[in-house]
Structure 1
Amino acid sequence: MTLTGTKQPDMTRILGGLFVLAGVLALGTAWFAEHRLLLAPCELCLWERRPWRVLIGIGALTLLLPRRYARYPVFAGLLCLAVSIGLAVLHAGVEHKFWPSPAPECRAPVFHGGSFKDWMAAMPARPNKPCDSPDYLFGLPISMTEMGGLYAVVVFVVASLGSVRMLRSRG
């Protein structure tokens, strides 16, 4: 209770809700770009979605656990966000050609000689988009990868501040 007699909100529940909401928003944006704007994701784009899926699960777990245990998944959520930031940095470096992609699916197939039949047999089952080919939305000079990374940084900072507040309130 505070001096005014009102109960302070439980920061672990707020952070759990933040994780769920942030993950749904990130994946919803990726879905919209892929299915409505018809932007093909590359393999690294698909890698970048995984931490957001895990974050939704961590957020749900944080909301469902009893209060005394709910703070532990919050730290797993921060780690998950750090992985998301790292993947965005990795992908942005590939887009800017600072380093090659670690995913072999990101490289455009190269065919050397052979017949048309051999060439067709060597084609991948699903066309790949090179990971060093960035997508830009709404004419902004920042790629979707970079926007996703900045989004992950913002969520990480907000969650970190909330975690500090959570720890302080527990004494």
Structure 2
Amino acid sequence: MTRKTLILLAMAGSAALLMGALGFQFLGEMPPCKLCYWQRYPHVAAVIAGLAALAGPGRVFPALGGLAAAATAGIGIYHTGVERGWWEGPTTCTSGPVSGLSADNLMNQIMNAPLVRCDEVPWELFTLSMASWNAVASLLLVAIWVGALRKS
């Protein structure tokens, strides 16, 4: 495959993952959590890097596209760990211990809790959540970006 084809394929992959996320959000009525949003930003960066890479030769923008894909894969792996209880997620979107809180503090924590929690899985396929699938797909995109980088 040519450099241009690989870049277009990587860009299309990130765009497809973004469109899928938006489809789940707006058509499937599954609002994203904080970590879901974090996974989207690198995909946007990868598409922008791809557009810049198509504008001319060089290795910088394919490398940035690959780094963006790796970043969203990393966030997806982190989010998967939060969902599976392997580690704690951000305190702003996961449940935590309530011991040692007064009734007023507990009520404030409940009232200020986000509507969508990062440690709950709203959808899965073959036992993998959306965050897990994003990580898997994004790792494939990293490989495509690496191929484009080698052809640069």
Establish whether TM, by shorter chain, passes 0.5.
yes
CA–CA separation in structure 2 for the residues paired with 1:35 and 1:108: 25
CA–CA separation in structure 2 for the residues paired with 1:140 and 1:38: 21
Query: What SS does structure 2 have at the residue aligned with 1:105?
Result: coil
The structure number with the bigger radius of gyration is 1
Do structure 1's residue 147 and structure 2's residue 105 form an aligned pair? no
Whether the 8 Å contact between 2:82 and 2:119 is mirrored in structure 1 is: yes
Do structure 1's residue 26 and structure 2's residue 17 form an aligned pair? yes
Of residues 123, 129, 136, the one that matches 2:116 is: 129
1:5 aligned residue: none
CA–CA separation in structure 2 for the residues paired with 1:48 and 1:121: 26
1:107-155 Cα distance to aligned partner (Å, 9 max, x none): 24868424xxxx579734x843121101224x53211111111110111
CA–CA separation in structure 2 for the residues paired with 1:128 and 1:19: 33
Q: After the TM superposition, which residues 92-171 of structure 1 pair with which residues of structure 2 at under 5 Å, given as runs?
A: 92-101=80-89, 103-108=90-95, 112-114=102-104, 119=107, 123-124=111-112, 127-137=114-124, 140-164=126-150, 166-167=151-152
Calculate the TM-score normalised by the size of structure 2.
0.83
CA–CA separation in structure 2 for the residues paired with 1:61 and 1:29: 24
Calculate the TM-score normalised by the size of structure 1.
0.75
Do structure 1's residue 40 and structure 2's residue 31 form an aligned pair? yes
2:42 aligned residue: 51
CA–CA separation in structure 2 for the residues paired with 1:127 and 1:136: 18
Tell me the amino acid that sits aligned with residue 39 of structure 2: E
Of residues 47, 51, 62, the one that matches 1:60 is: 51
Query: What SS does structure 2 have at the residue aligned with 1:100?
Result: coil
Listed as ranges, the gaps of 5+ residues in structure 1 are 1-8
CA RMSD of aligned residues (A): 2.6
Tell me the amino acid that sits aligned with residue 45 of structure 1: C
Percent of aligned pairs with the same amino acid? 21
Between the two structures, name the one with larger relative contact order (CA 8 Å, sep ≥ 6).
2
Q: How many residues align?
A: 149
